[in-house]
Structure 1
């Protein structure tokens, strides 16, 4: 017979060694949050380009501050699905679903890869010009 108890955070977990409903729910949410990456790419593009077009005057190279003021909010929008996957995956693991770290790691790698790729492309562009 499986019994359940509440964790200190109020989540229900099974005591028989099998994950509880909350662990399964967090695990599913972690995977579903990865599905938000295409939406966040579009939103990040709109935010970044919108801020950049508002701040730049269209003449010559934009200043570093203009690029940073446009890039930081855009990158922030982009990493939201990865952060959600990381948070929900860790919660699933804490509640007994060990494979909860798989979507957490995937989300973190995709988000950090996107940030790194954007930073590298900007820095390489500075070096080439």
Structure 2
């Protein structure tokens, strides 16, 4: 593996940035719940209420929350791909981890929402 000492061309730096991007999930996890529950509450559906929310409320509350949660995955994939373009295949690992975590969270929320809609 060769590295170029010019600024921005060291693939190891991009691999490190990709791994560090994964820490963003810790922050965005809480933010996603706060955003989703906050929007649902603002629309008249407090958490733990006896009535399930309508589909439009679920969509309006869930989409921004999921977008916020996925942001670290976008960063990790970006930095991982950049590292791979510069010749370091290790950039693939944090990108795959980010996609699995973000995809799993989105899938879990979609399945939960479908379950709520079907249980009516």
TM-score grouping bracket, smaller chain normalisation: 0.7 to 0.9
Say which one has the larger Rg.
1
User: Does the CA contact (< 8 Å) of 1:33 and 1:85 recur in 2?
Assistant: yes
Unaligned 5+ segments in structure 2 are: none
The answer (yes or no) to whether the contact 1:34–1:81 under 8 Å persists in 2 is: yes
Equivalent position of 1:56 in the other structure = 44
Q: CA 1:108–1:5 in structure 2 vs 1: closer, same or farther (change >3 Å)?
A: same
Under a length normalisation based on structure 2, what TM-score does the superposition of the two structures give? 0.86
**Structure 1 residue 60: deviation in Å?**
3.5
Q: Does 1:116 find its partner at 2:107?
A: yes
> How high is the TM-score relative to the length of structure 1?
0.81
Kindly indicate whether residue 94 of structure 2 is the aligned counterpart of residue 103 of structure 1: yes
Gaps of at least 5 residues in structure 1 are 13-20
How far apart are residue 57 of structure 1 and its match? 5.2
Q: Is the 8 A contact 1:56 1:66 kept in 2?
A: no
Q: Considering fraction of residues, name the structure with more strand.
A: 1
Determine if contact 2:52/2:116 at 8 Å carries over to the other structure.
Answer: no
Q: Which has the higher contact order (CA 8 A, sep 6+)?
A: 2
Structure 2 match to 1:77: 68
Matches within 5 A, 1:1-129: 4=4, 11-12=8-9, 21=10, 23-56=11-44, 60-129=51-120
Report deviation, 1:99.
Answer: 1.1
1:4 Cα offset (Å) = 4.1
